[in-house]
Chains A and B, each alone.
Chain A
Amino acid sequence: MSWIRERELSFLERLTANILKAGPMPKHVAFIMDGNRRFAQKAHVQRQEGHSQGFEKLAETLRWCLNLGIHEVTVYAFSIENFKRSKEEVDGLMELARQKFSRLLTEQENLEKHGVCIRVLGDLTLLPADLQQLIAKSVVATKAHNKCFLNVCFAYTSRYEIASAVKEMAWGVEQGLIKSSDVSEVLLSECLYSSNSPNPDLLIRTSGEVRLSDFLLWQTSYSCLVFQSVLWPEYSFWNLCEAVLQYQLSYQSLQKARDLHREGQALQQMEEDRSCVAELLQHRGNGKLVDSQSRQKELLNYIASREERVRCFLNALQMFYPVLWGSGYV
């Protein structure tokens, strides 16, 4: 299959994988596949060839991830900022995407066999119309699969994604589905393109750069970040193992930080709910004091109605902004 290399691990690789799997393993890994052009320069080939090799390496890496029990992978294929590159390079990348998505559509059986679900996240309206069609078909064809998930960020930046999520919540308010006080961290996360995925446990960036470049800024706040100096087309199974090891070393601290954050979030929500209820009672009451039992009852009612509102809003979003675009049309 073109998107996932069909190749078994060597004995040593299998042994290493089994040893690593004795510890906590990331369930979702994100890759910033950087270094294609530098590789092309190093190998004295065209840039386009560098990108092509980069895709081959992606297919290989997906195979390694499956072997390591990592069932969700998100990759940064093309940033909105990359449109600034030369027309030749951008056209070349679009052509590569066309080839790969077209090829994907001819491999239905294999996709089903591996249970691969492909999602494409980004502002797809910026892409050529025919590519948008190919992407739509690929996403629809694999929508029902659930063994492993590949999220391709194409024409994507994190800030754009966050702003889109805010826009969707504002739309919800406009439609009277939710109130502005229902806006929370949890709700914003549900409105991101990546709402169908858990946050990445591990983010790997190759080629030695040590920045996030507008990739999954919200989702990777508590992820393990590993920066590796190897160029993407030269990535190896051992590099991946090294990154997973780094994840395992930071695991306890990250769990602790995530739990702390979650507690803070819950507290914040509780405070918000309480103040909304207080305001409600003030409006409703005639200066009468409300006893704590009624206040508690009101609070529970309020939380239930808030959760119902949010549920309806998220359902409406699914219908209005079809899932197959990952909200890319906003």
Chain B
Amino acid sequence: MALLNEMVWRFLHALLYVQRALLAWFRVHIWRWKRAVLGLLLPLALGFHNPKRAGPIGKRTSRRVRWGADGRTLEKLPLHLGLLITEEEIQFTDIANLVVWCMAVGISYVSVYDNQGVFRRNNSRLMEEILKQQQELLGMDRSKYSVEFMKNGADKQEHQVLSCQSVVKVLSPDDGRLSIVQAAQQLCRAVEQKEKTSKDINVTVLDSLLRESKNIPDPDLVLKFGPVESTLGFLPWHIRLTEIISMPSHVDVSYDDLFGALQRYAMCEQRLGK
């Protein structure tokens, strides 16, 4: 009997695996097909209605304007959006696209996280990709955006800027539980040195200490990419009220996917206990 149950279980999981694989395959191929068709039809349409075709610069500007306008149509935009990648294989170009779209739509703080520390170890590569995609998609001058990368420690690489419009932070599990432990150690040291008593410690004190070293605002929205249903250690203290929206994959993700999630976020109602 137990053997039969196990066989049925294996069969069920095999079915689900096939279903997931099929859905992923469809998603990618339908998107590629859509892109190919648009690529073919749009120039034709423009050719009929506009004798002058929009050059690459014009296309970038109109995209930038459209994305900015999209952002303004939403009831609310997250101040801090977290991109949580649970997939093993990471495509840096797709991540860079997501970051650039977020900046274009008007989100001022974007964080990028994976639980294996891949982004942290490759943050210069990510930075390059983001700057490249910025140029590619928005045609912005490199110096107009501040891209600040957070490493574990005070060593921050900051690209010089005139108008700081967006901040991008790379996060890893060390920014989660470990940071809380480090703050706890700091408070205990203060108690050891008789600068504080244990009775002085409460949520507000711990919270302000956490903000002191790494001032990460609480994420309003986390987009989780990949099939793993977990936050995998992402900022446990900060995600108290964060909306967590799951997306199937970051590979070949489109602007419409991102905007759909932002629309969903704009509609949610936070009652805050009431």
Q: Mark A residues whose CB is within 8 Å of B.
A: 18-23, 79-85, 157-160, 162-163, 166-171, 173-174, 179-181, 183-185, 188, 209-214, 217-218, 220-227, 245-246, 248-250, 253-254, 257, 260-261, 264, 268
Contacts and interface: CB of A to CB of B under 8 A. Distances in A.
Interface of B: 1-2, 5-6, 8-10, 12-13, 16, 86, 115-116, 173, 176-178, 180-181, 183-185, 187-189, 191-192, 196-199, 201-203, 205-207, 227-234, 236-237, 239-245, 268, 270, 272-274
B228 A85 contact: no
B84 to A, nearest CB: 11
B13 A253 contact: no
Main secondary structure of the interface of A (DSSP, over half): helix
21 contacts: A22-B10, A23-B13, A82-B274, A158-B240, A159-B206, A163-B202, A166-B206, A170-B197, A174-B197, A180-B192, A188-B184, A212-B240, A212-B242, A221-B232, A222-B232, A225-B244, A249-B227, A249-B229, A257-B228, A257-B230, A260-B116
Given A19-B12, A173-B188, A222-B230, A213 B198 contact: no
Contacts of A209: 268
Contact of B191 (A170, A227, A253): A170
B80 to A, nearest CB: 14
A185 B240 contact: no
Given A166-B187, A185-B177, A257 B232 contact: yes
A261 B245 CA distance: 24
A122 to B, nearest CB: 14
B184 A217 contact: no
A20 to B, nearest CB: 7
Given A188-B180, A211-B242, A211-B244, A162 B13 contact: no
B233 A185 contact: no
A224 B198 contact: no
A159 B228 CA distance: 25
Given A159-B207, A171-B198, A222-B232, A181 B185 contact: yes
B9 A22 contact: yes
B240 to A, nearest CB: 5
A170 B181 contact: no
A226 B203 contact: no
Given A173-B188, A225-B229, A214 B177 contact: no
B184 A166 contact: yes
A160 to B, nearest CB: 6
Contacts of A179: 192
A179 B2 CA distance: 52
Given A173-B188, A211-B242, A212-B239, A166 B229 contact: no
B159 to A, nearest CB: 30
Contacts of B233: 221-222, 257, 261
A19 B178 contact: no
Given A22-B2, A84-B272, A174-B198, A221 B231 contact: yes
